[in-house]
Amino acid sequence: MQKFANVIATRALAVWFALLAIGILLGLSAHPAAAEDAYPNRPIRMIVPFPPGGPTDVMGRLISQTLSEQLGQQVYVDNRPGAGSTLAGKIAANADPDGYTLLLGSAATLAIGPTLYRDAEYDPKRFVPVAMVAEVPYVMVASPKAPVANFAELIAYAKAHPGKLNFGVPNGAPPHMLAA
């Protein structure tokens, strides 16, 4: 339990530093010449490519709350799930490049989705990275009744019993690629 708490604390600290970096970058890019030109002078949209309530959504809401406080302007979450997160990628890619649309991208949005879906209709290379906000470890679990106790045994069992195993993951997302 202590190791889990340490991982959470480390992740929270990483998110805090990333948000600080975003705040500094946004502050440096503001034009103080005129009040109406100061950035930001209207709400900022953060597109989250996954449904409300999941881990990416929660992270997006925490980031948007902190950015809202630091910038003095509302940063709101716009959940756009679907097509392995490429729907959100397309919306973000087609937004005006004015700093008022952010994408909480992931490997699914920036690599897997555009590779799996030829009709993603956006080039992830067009995005400009602002900050690394999290790293996500993946864990594979099995029923205690499964005839395997570790990953090597799972691979051996799958090879010896083709078509007998199944898995449940979001289609096109990183867990799908890992499980496959």
* Tens digits of residue pLDDT in 117-174: 888 899 999 999 999 998 888 888 888 999 999 989 999 999 999 998 888 877 777 8
Cα separation, 104 vs 27, in Å, equals 20
Tens digit of each residue's pLDDT (9 = 90 or more) over 70-117: 999 999 999 999 888 899 999 999 999 999 999 999 988 999 889 888
Tens digit of each residue's pLDDT (9 = 90 or more) over 63-76: 999 999 999 999 99
By the 10 Å C-beta count (0-12 exposed, 13-18 middle, 19+ buried), 91 is classed as middle
Yes or no: is domain 2-126 CATH 3.40.50.10190?
no
* Mean pLDDT score of the chain: 82
Residues of the chain with CATH 3.40.190.150: 2-126
Residue 91: predicted pLDDT: 96
Cα separation, 92 vs 33, in Å, equals 28
Q: Are 108 and 101 in contact (CB under 8 A)?
A: no
Whole-number percent of the chain with pLDDT over 70: 80
- Residue (of 38, 36, 61, 39) closest to 48 by Cα position: 61
Cα separation, 87 vs 92, in Å, equals 9
